[in-house]
Amino acid sequence: MAHFAIHPEPEAYSSSPMVSPLNVGLIGAGPWARMVTGPVLAAGPQTRVAGVWSRTAEHASELAAQLETDAFDSVDSLLESCDAVAIAVAPSAQPELAIHAARAGKALLLEKPLAVDVAGAQSIVDAVNAAGVGAVVMLSNRFNDAVDEFAAAARRVDAYGGRGCFFSGAFLGGPFAQGWRLERGAVLDVGPHLLDLLEVALGPIVDVRAAGDPLGLVALICRHELGAVSSASLCCRAATESRTEIEVYGPKGSAVYDGRMIDHRLWADRVRLTLVAAARGETPAASVQRGLHLQRLIADIESQLGAAS
């Protein structure tokens, strides 16, 4: 994902009624918060960043200055200042923070994966359901208009199978080559994206078989609910251009999704609009229930590979 520095043209929103922006508190000040979540939410006009909190106060202050907002010294003080919360932290830390924010009545923008395991993901879903708050999971491709076009094309060709891949060099160096990503590997990190896209085209995955190394390359064979089959490969240690691709086939043709074909301004606009809609009670396609379903698939895959789950 590219670094975002987005400044929408005012006329792009001239057809929409003027409403007050949604005040969003940002929890976390790591690479994704600095490169994507913070700048996207700060660009508006549908949202504004009400403030930043991080366990590392210095990082919170630096990001708050970048976004021209305030740094808070506690989660509770941040929650008091906002209507929604964007959480951009490691999956081990997300459940506790998400549950606390949900119980405070805040709509949520959450990272994928929801947690390090199914129990953590389930705890978030339970808290969201109990509080009745809106929640969106950052399944990045879901905010690309090309996904909608791809899904429609897959239906037109009556797709009964396909293939997918997610390749990048993220683990070879750079801001994401650290921590939980290098400990757990590509399945936990980018598996949610690839599995979600396969389901967009071919329906829910009901069985998956896995081989390989999460810290190298993993190959998957998936069986879908209506009988379709798919194969997929994922690797974050490949010295190649980052790419996410899905191709499906049917008796009426084929359909292709290439994640590199994206309008970043429109993508960011859709992230903000989706969060605002969730805060108003709409259930997004990238819901916490979907995040939980993907977490279960990941746990199955990691178990087969002998990885932590």
Q: What is the pLDDT of residue 295?
A: 98
Q: What is the pLDDT of residue 14?
A: 34
Give the C-alpha separation, 266 to 8, whole Å. 9
pLDDT tens per residue, range 166-223? 999 999 999 999 999 999 999 999 999 999 999 999 999 999 999 999 999 999 999 9
Give the C-alpha separation, 91 to 191, whole Å. 14
Tokens encoding 272: 């903000």
pLDDT tens per residue, range 256-274? 999 999 999 999 999 999 9
Q: How many residues comprise the chain?
A: 309
**Residue 307 predicted with pLDDT over 80:** no
Sign of CA dihedral 245, 205, 135, 178: negative
Give the pLDDT band of residue 289 (cuts 50, 70, 90): very high
**Residue 10 predicted with pLDDT over 90:** no
CATH architecture of 10-139+265-287: 3-Layer(aba) Sandwich (3.40)
Question: Higher pLDDT residue, 14 or 271?
Answer: 271
pLDDT tens per residue, range 96-124? 999 999 999 999 999 999 999 999 999 99
With a pLDDT cut of 70, the percent of the chain lying above it is 93
Helices in the chain by DSSP H: which ranges? 31-32, 38-43, 57-67, 75-80, 94-103, 118-131, 145-156, 179-184, 186-202, 264-279, 288-305
**Residue 7 predicted with pLDDT over 50:** no
- From the number of C-beta atoms within 10 Å of its C-beta (0-12, 13-18, 19+), residue 10 rates as exposed
Q: What is the pLDDT of residue 202?
A: 98
The structure's pTM equals 0.92
With a pLDDT cut of 90, the percent of the chain lying above it is 93
Mean per-residue pLDDT over the chain, rounded: 93
145-261 maps to CATH 3.40.50.300: no
DSSP β-bridge partners for residue 250:
253
Give the count of beta carbons closer than 10 Å to the beta carbon of residue 151. 18
What are the sequence ranges of the domains in the chain?
10-139+265-287, 145-261
Mean pLDDT of 151-176: 97
